[in-house]
Structure 1
């Protein structure tokens, strides 16, 4: 082995230690703990409890529902917003990308706290519109299922826009000109050229949004606490709750959550390969 390769491997050693210590080791331990019974013996007890208990099945269902709804709404808004940003002038585009980039990192407890200040029961906008005699937010409850979906959609949109912008930059104006010269209009351009090119990026972004919302914990916990039955909240309560601590069951729920994400990524990969074959 050459000296340059040895130096390169030594340079990767800290990264390998970091990945092993903070990613692989906890993952292996979580899988191992999920196959342990409450008495510490090897067992499928935790998985049997999950798939036989309606409470945990409801948590899985609720997490999937909020992820699908928020990701679907966010991808539609982000697709339109991302295209609009890509059509701006160079200076305006940089400003909007900077704002979107900063907004995409605004999530978790700070985001929930901001929504409480603005749209909570005694929030700024809630009281302001109430004083003006407008009942815009009188029927809106931030601490409800709808409120949780709204907050999820909010932090998903800028994240999706940042992922979609490189895809929109791949659209070339020459293709539109060629379509127009051949007698096509805007509708035919998008149907035969624009959408087929953008579709792989949109589907890939949608899958990432699903995984992102499935694993969201801090925002939901800060906003609704344990009021709603979501998979990440149940995992948190089982390993850091005030009453019952069940780390083995929490590990099994974590494995189930990871498997759902893996299945989503696998489906995304199959769809992407089919789309690429059709385009070729």
Structure 2
């Protein structure tokens, strides 16, 4: 097992949304000395996010545009980041889309749109970063699932979303098993309702209260709640944690 490098980079997909979990995580990781690679479908937003993170936290950050569902584009994006940043140690796949379409109305386009970004995109980016992690002998992989996958919807998104997010759990467990011998861990963070735009836009106070009522805490989540969980799972201290799903959901889903 290789040692954890002092100069290390985390690649984050979907991290350019202004109120998103990915952007909050980029800032939190940079606060703790991680260099940041941002991959987002919007290249301008990716570059702006990277510049903002670098300026505020004094780390190196690079943003590139890519459709993560496109294998060639995903690989090229990681190639570009790896060429400009210190050793890749972590990848966190935030890129995702919601899907509030009722099941009986889901057509081929909607099914493909959601699965290609949420599951296939997670796979392509993760696979490319994992190639580098295996070579260096140390790495952290985090997939982002959802309480929707465990409960069968019930938040905002419905079947294609729940299926894709359940797929992320299976993907990460299998990666954990295969790459463990190479010093690479793979885990999942499963958020409950979080106040971001993927929930259908800015939430009213009434809607936040109603969503919080499902859990055991009197509020819904914030992007920083999720960012903190990610920070732990990609840390050196989490080296013996793999194949796990960390529910950050205010007690909404309890086994």
Q: Which fold has the larger relative contact order, with Cα–Cα distance below 8 Å and residues 6 or more apart in sequence?
A: 1
Higher-helix-fraction structure: 1
Query: Normalising by structure 2, what TM-score?
Result: 0.28
Query: Normalising by structure 1, what TM-score?
Result: 0.26
Greater Rg by CA? 1
Higher-strand-fraction structure: 2
